[in-house]
A and B are shown apart, each in its own frame.
Chain A
Amino acid sequence: MTTFQNDQDQIFTGSGTPLDGEEVVLSFDDVDVRFKTEFGSVHAVKGVDLRVRPGEVVALVGESGSGKSVTSMTAMRLLPRNARIGGVVNVAGKDVGRLSERTMRRLRGNDVAMVFQEPMTALNPVLTIGTQMVESMELHGVARGQAAVDRAVELLGMVGIPEPERQMAKYPHELSGGQRQRVVIAMAISCDPKVIIADEPTTALDVTVQADILDLLRSLKDKLNTGILLITHNMGVVADMADRVAVMFKGEIVERGTVEEVLLRPQHDYTKMLLGSVPRMGAGRGQMGISVREEVDETAPLAIELKNLVIEYQRLGKAPFRAVDDVSFTVRKGEIVGLVGESGSGKSTIGRCALGLIPAAGGEFRLLGEDITRMNRKQLKGLRKRIGVVFQDPAASLNPRLPIGDCIAEPMVVHGIGDRKSRQDKVYELLDAVQLPREVYNRYPHEVSGGQRQRICVARALTLDPELLVADEPTSALDVSVQARVLKIFSELQEQFGFACLFISHDLAVIDLLAHKVVVLQNGKVVEAGPREQIMENPQEEYTQRLIAAAPVPDPIEQGRRRRERHELLRAQGEEVVELHLDDPSAFRESISGEADTL
């Protein structure tokens, strides 16, 4: 049934929502949240209704500022004090708004548990994994003493952490990101909650690890019949996990329905726009109106030439850490080379070396024809004039104390180019090029949002008409719709200025969209390198295949097929498909001690 709001805002009621009599573990009824701030009140959530059945994954999708995290926090009652909450939130049949603080503490963990985005900050860095797991169980009276320790070991084994007894004594920083997230999940299921709220559970993880964690969550809800409220901005994750989807925009749910309906036949303009902005794996060029000049002059001079480059980080009292090991590749003028790899692969290290910020320990690094490994300060400054750079975090890469115009003009000031008037003209020209109004010249970075800031960074990088641009994850901190716009501007400028570009990214779909050549890195070594078509469509190395298979696409049917293919690939490569190691859920339930507090 389609309901109409008073105004032109159309909101669709999708199918698949629980009927009145059906059991729901989590329900939001007309939830409304306002925050009181210095400059008046902010209406963050405007009347949201949502229900989650046991064993069902409901995805709450939206971009930053849509209020999706705030909505989920109302279920835990963990919002800051300046929040005014209206409406009713029910967790396992209990009205969260009416519980005392004491009962609420017992509810958290027992009935509803949370999995956060960043496992490093969700775990206490000064306590061992074992202590933290035992603590949560003892607090909830699930198990005590040795029984709690045994159960913690069992839980760690269930989520697929090898040698759980040994890991119990480790500290969070000694585990990898994926293992930390497994520990967080193990803690979340330790009291057998009825519903888990997963707030961007895989955003901080690499794609292959993300796929593993999603596999784990999927088998968890199947085996334990837990309801999951999945909060994410990643449409691929939605397609992979969700049964039903609700799309949020500026505090309201604008569209809801089953995952197939919403992702394949979106009705609301916002959902369409959102889906249209997601670059798709395997779709190649021409998406979202982004075009790149295909032909690269094969005889053009080399902008970057790497021969057996080695970069080492010195460590106190230990052998130096080799971050980049024997890497060779070239970038021609006018060519975009995508440097792909997971965290720790050394891709950013190469980018920093290209900027002359890190010295090379061995090998050759020729930049625009000159060997930077043996250059003095002055020569390096002359070379830097010809290189532009864009970093990942738009919040950190502009000096908050400088007006935007000064930020963009800074390279000209440093290199003593032009006078006041000509600099200002150049800045206006660049602002036009990145499609920002000229009025922002005298504004400050905190007044504009992330994507606009990233466009300012692009403008700053192009101030001196560089021959080479190093872009280190330029869009990974941005929302998809914003990313689409930045990428479009970027590709247009590349076509216009014809600079060479080293494009560093972990997102294969973005690389697929832009790059001419792709270099895949793993642990500081080149796994595979070649033209885009070859790498993306016909990868030869196991690692590349796994990487491409792990990237989710925003199409539930296609993603289901890709998931099965990935599992086959993993088995063929002799790896294990991640799942919850639990054969008898009822035994797991019964093992909760009788002391466990019931509400």
Chain B
Amino acid sequence: MNDRPITPGDDRPDQDLPQEPGSGREGLSPIPAQQDKDAPQTETFSVEKQLDLSQKSYSQGQLVRRRFIRHRGAMVSLAVLIFITIFAFTSIGYGWIPGWWDKDYWRGGLNIDRGRPTLQLWPFSAGEHPFGQDNAGKDYFALTMRGTQRSLIVAFTVGLFSTILGTIIGAVAGYYRGWIESILMRITDLFIVIPALVLAAVFGKMANGGIWPLAFLLSVIGWTGLARLVRGEVLSLREREFVTAAEAIGTGSGRIIFKHILPNTIGTIIVSATLAIAATILTESALSFLGWGVRAPDTSLGLLISTYQNSFQSRPWLFWWPGMIILAIALAVNFLGDGLRDAFDPRQNRTAD
């Protein structure tokens, strides 16, 4: 097979020289090229991938899941997030379901040792008030857990609703084009140009301290980014031939959008949703800090920080505990989003054709 020189006359001996039986050369007997006879479809020389039907089949979703599970940062974040969520909900319970922590977040008491935290890492002991006590002697652990619950509820509700809203508006605008797109995208622009915090503040006032109306109103301002992203994706997907093929067999618009187009944008949607959750945690904290979000006697992480901002010098734990939890949740969700984006990234591992 080497491109080495050969003496003239010695080339292609298999054509010119007689065959030597038993020499190992006879296998090369010149068969006249049957170029126009029945196609010599020798399977051995097929460039087509041989279907290995014994191997396990992976769907796109399974491949994504595999990559996601291998992403260490995302897995750690997921564990942290699940831990915080379970901890927050089981410790003080939710609604009428009792938790394992024996103190209530609304009941004051005597301040012991200026409310200093009793948590001890080595040897580990939680003590009476692991996170300390606030001014009124309320157990700060119960308060922080309550705040975490509220923040998580708001964040996930907003994540869910703004994603649904943004996806539908973006998909409809991108698929139908024309005047529908113009109207929907101008509305989107309108929401984008008004500063989110101003809008949130107005809505926060309207929500009047309740977390469900607050969550709903935050969703109303949170969908714009996703709507634009989804519209962009849909614009490119609707030109793909599988969409044209679906149209050509008479598929209705609704089925094309929900069955053929949106499943292909799932990566963008999920990544954007996680980032929206992280952003909402911060927005909710900011709003509560400014006094337009959750109000006393109920509490949230942002509200805790705002209430005790003056105690930062004297009793720093009142600031650190809720602050660290905000940070942990926001970081975990962001890392989770990163992991998901890596898992969905089409540039990784696609078959060549």
Q: Quick check: B4 and A13 within 8 Å, CB to CB?
A: yes
Mark each residue of chain A from 395 to 427: 1 if its CB lies under 8 Å from any CB of chain B, else 0. Answer: 111111111000000110011000000000000
Q: Does B49 contact A (CB under 8 A)?
A: yes
Q: Does A269 contact B (CB under 8 A)?
A: yes
Q: Does A440 contact B (CB under 8 A)?
A: yes
Q: Quick check: B38 and A481 within 8 Å, CB to CB?
A: no
Q: Does B101 contact A (CB under 8 A)?
A: no
With a cutoff of 8 Å between Cβ atoms, the chain B residues found around residue A464 in the complex are 249
CB-nearest residue of chain A relative to B32?
A265
The distance in angstroms between the C-alpha atoms of A15 and B10, with both chains bound, is: 9
* Segment 1-59 of B: residues with Cβ below 8 Å from A: 1-6, 8, 10-15, 24-25, 27-28, 30-31, 33-42, 44-49, 51, 53, 57-59
Q: Does A249 contact B (CB under 8 A)?
A: yes
With a cutoff of 8 Å between Cβ atoms, the chain A residues found around residue B242 in the complex are 396-400
CB-nearest residue of chain B relative to A257?
B12
The segment from A94-102, A282-290, A589-597 that touches chain B is: A282-290
- Shortest CB distance A347–B (Å): 16
With a cutoff of 8 Å between Cβ atoms, the chain B residues found around residue A396 in the complex are 240-242
Q: Does A344 contact B (CB under 8 A)?
A: no
Q: Does A65 contact B (CB under 8 A)?
A: yes
CB-nearest residue of chain B relative to A407?
B242
Q: Quick check: B39 and A272 within 8 Å, CB to CB?
A: no
Q: Does A584 contact B (CB under 8 A)?
A: no
Q: Quick check: A380 and B11 within 8 Å, CB to CB?
A: no
Mark each residue of chain A from 246 to 265: 1 if its CB lies under 8 Å from any CB of chain B, else 0. Answer: 00010011001100010011
Q: Quick check: B264 and A49 within 8 Å, CB to CB?
A: no
CB-nearest residue of chain A relative to B247?
A357
Q: Quick check: A39 and B349 within 8 Å, CB to CB?
A: yes
Mark each residue of chain B from 333 to 353: 1 if its CB lies under 8 Å from any CB of chain A, else 0. Answer: 000000000000000111111
- Shortest CB distance A548–B (Å): 19
Instruction: Select A3's contact among B2, B44, B353, beta carbons within 8 Å.
Output: B2
Q: Does A485 contact B (CB under 8 A)?
A: yes
Q: Kindly name the residue among B10, B30, B59 whose own CB sees the greatest number of chain A CB atoms within 10 A.
A: B59
Q: Quick check: B11 and A15 within 8 Å, CB to CB?
A: yes
With a cutoff of 8 Å between Cβ atoms, the chain A residues found around residue B15 in the complex are 265, 267
The distance in angstroms between the C-alpha atoms of A19 and B15, with both chains bound, is: 22
- Shortest CB distance A174–B (Å): 23
Q: Does A64 contact B (CB under 8 A)?
A: yes
CB-nearest residue of chain A relative to B260?
A399
With a cutoff of 8 Å between Cβ atoms, the chain B residues found around residue A267 in the complex are 12, 14-15, 28, 30
Q: Does A389 contact B (CB under 8 A)?
A: yes
Q: Does A522 contact B (CB under 8 A)?
A: no
The distance in angstroms between the C-alpha atoms of A18 and B3, with both chains bound, is: 8
Q: Quick check: A397 and B45 within 8 Å, CB to CB?
A: no
Given contacts A13-B1, A20-B5, A269-B45, contact A289 B51 (CB under 8 A): no
Instruction: Select B47's contact among A65, A266, A410, A447, beta carbons within 8 Å.
Output: A65
Given contacts A38-B349, A389-B248, contact A15 B49 (CB under 8 A): no
Q: Quick check: B57 and A443 within 8 Å, CB to CB?
A: yes
Given contacts A3-B1, A272-B40, contact A64 B353 (CB under 8 A): yes
Q: Does B250 contact A (CB under 8 A)?
A: yes
* Segment 49-83 of A: residues with Cβ below 8 Å from B: 49-51, 63-66
Q: Quick check: B5 and A19 within 8 Å, CB to CB?
A: yes
Q: Quick check: B57 and A448 within 8 Å, CB to CB?
A: no
- Shortest CB distance A243–B (Å): 14
Q: Quick check: A269 and B42 within 8 Å, CB to CB?
A: yes
Q: Does B120 contact A (CB under 8 A)?
A: no
The distance in angstroms between the C-alpha atoms of A384 and B249, with both chains bound, is: 5
Instruction: Select A275's contact among B35, B47, B251, B353, beta carbons within 8 Å.
Output: B35
With a cutoff of 8 Å between Cβ atoms, the chain B residues found around residue A357 in the complex are 244, 247-248
Q: Does A203 contact B (CB under 8 A)?
A: no
Given contacts A261-B12, A289-B39, A399-B242, contact A276 B34 (CB under 8 A): yes
CB-nearest residue of chain A relative to B36?
A287
Q: Quick check: A448 and B244 within 8 Å, CB to CB?
A: no
- Shortest CB distance B253–A (Å): 10
The distance in angstroms between the C-alpha atoms of A272 and B350, with both chains bound, is: 31
CB-nearest residue of chain B relative to A254?
B1
Q: Quick check: B13 and A485 within 8 Å, CB to CB?
A: no
Q: Quick check: B12 and A276 within 8 Å, CB to CB?
A: no
Given contacts A267-B28, A414-B250, contact A452 B36 (CB under 8 A): no
The segment from A4-12, A155-163, A298-306, A556-564 that touches chain B is: A4-12
The distance in angstroms between the C-alpha atoms of A385 and B248, with both chains bound, is: 9
Q: Does B177 contact A (CB under 8 A)?
A: no
Q: Quick check: A273 and B245 within 8 Å, CB to CB?
A: no
The distance in angstroms between the C-alpha atoms of A287 and B35, with both chains bound, is: 8
Q: Quick check: B49 and A448 within 8 Å, CB to CB?
A: yes
Q: Quick check: B350 and A289 within 8 Å, CB to CB?
A: no
With a cutoff of 8 Å between Cβ atoms, the chain A residues found around residue B195 in the complex are none
- Shortest CB distance A231–B (Å): 16
With a cutoff of 8 Å between Cβ atoms, the chain B residues found around residue A479 in the complex are 47
Q: Does B187 contact A (CB under 8 A)?
A: no
CB-nearest residue of chain B relative to A3?
B1
Given contacts A1-B10, A17-B4, A257-B12, contact A400 B28 (CB under 8 A): no
- Shortest CB distance A342–B (Å): 21
- Shortest CB distance B259–A (Å): 8
With a cutoff of 8 Å between Cβ atoms, the chain A residues found around residue B36 in the complex are 276, 280, 283, 286-288
Q: Kindly name the residue among B51, B246, B264 whose own CB sees the greatest number of chain A CB atoms within 10 A.
A: B51
Instruction: Select B39's contact among A261, A277, A446, beta carbons within 8 Å.
Output: A277
Q: Quick check: B12 and A12 within 8 Å, CB to CB?
A: yes
Q: Does A573 contact B (CB under 8 A)?
A: no
Given contacts A267-B12, A437-B53, contact A63 B3 (CB under 8 A): no
Q: Does B107 contact A (CB under 8 A)?
A: no
Q: Does A511 contact B (CB under 8 A)?
A: no
Q: Does A387 contact B (CB under 8 A)?
A: yes
With a cutoff of 8 Å between Cβ atoms, the chain A residues found around residue B2 in the complex are 3, 13, 49
Q: Does B123 contact A (CB under 8 A)?
A: no
The distance in angstroms between the C-alpha atoms of A19 and B51, with both chains bound, is: 44
- Shortest CB distance B288–A (Å): 40
CB-nearest residue of chain A relative to B11?
A15
Q: Quick check: B5 and A2 within 8 Å, CB to CB?
A: no
Q: Quick check: A2 and B13 within 8 Å, CB to CB?
A: yes
CB-nearest residue of chain B relative to A261?
B12
Mark each residue of chain B from 183 to 219: 1 if its CB lies under 8 Å from any CB of chain A, else 0. Answer: 0000000000000000000000000000000000000
Q: Quick check: A401 and B353 within 8 Å, CB to CB?
A: no
- Shortest CB distance A14–B (Å): 7
- Shortest CB distance A487–B (Å): 10
The distance in angstroms between the C-alpha atoms of A452 and B82, with both chains bound, is: 44
Instruction: Select A452's contact among B39, B49, B252, beta carbons within 8 Å.
Output: B49
Instruction: Select B264's contact among A65, A274, A399, A470, beta carbons within 8 Å.
Output: A399
Mark each residue of chain B from 52 to 96: 1 if its CB lies under 8 Å from any CB of chain A, else 0. Answer: 010001111000000000000000000000000000000000000
Q: Quick check: B47 and A482 within 8 Å, CB to CB?
A: yes
With a cutoff of 8 Å between Cβ atoms, the chain A residues found around residue B114 in the complex are none
The distance in angstroms between the C-alpha atoms of A208 and B283, with both chains bound, is: 63
Q: Quick check: A391 and B40 within 8 Å, CB to CB?
A: no
Given contacts A1-B11, A256-B3, A401-B60, contact A276 B349 (CB under 8 A): no
With a cutoff of 8 Å between Cβ atoms, the chain A residues found around residue B57 in the complex are 442-444, 447
Given contacts A66-B47, A357-B244, contact A410 B249 (CB under 8 A): yes
Q: Quick check: A387 and B40 within 8 Å, CB to CB?
A: no
CB-nearest residue of chain B relative to A255?
B1
- Shortest CB distance A273–B (Å): 5
Q: With A13-B4, A389-B249 given, name 5 new contacts (CB 8 A).
A: A49-B3, A265-B33, A356-B248, A449-B47, A479-B47
In the complex, the 10 A-B pairs of residues with the closest C-beta atoms, listed nearest first? A15-B11, A288-B39, A384-B250, A397-B241, A19-B5, A449-B49, A381-B250, A401-B263, A49-B3, A11-B1
Question: What would 28 A/B residue contacts be, using CB atoms closer than 8 Å?
Answer: A10-B27, A15-B12, A37-B349, A49-B3, A51-B3, A63-B47, A65-B352, A249-B47, A257-B11, A275-B35, A280-B36, A357-B247, A382-B250, A389-B245, A392-B241, A397-B240, A397-B242, A399-B260, A401-B264, A410-B246, A410-B249, A437-B53, A442-B57, A446-B60, A447-B57, A452-B49, A457-B245, A481-B47
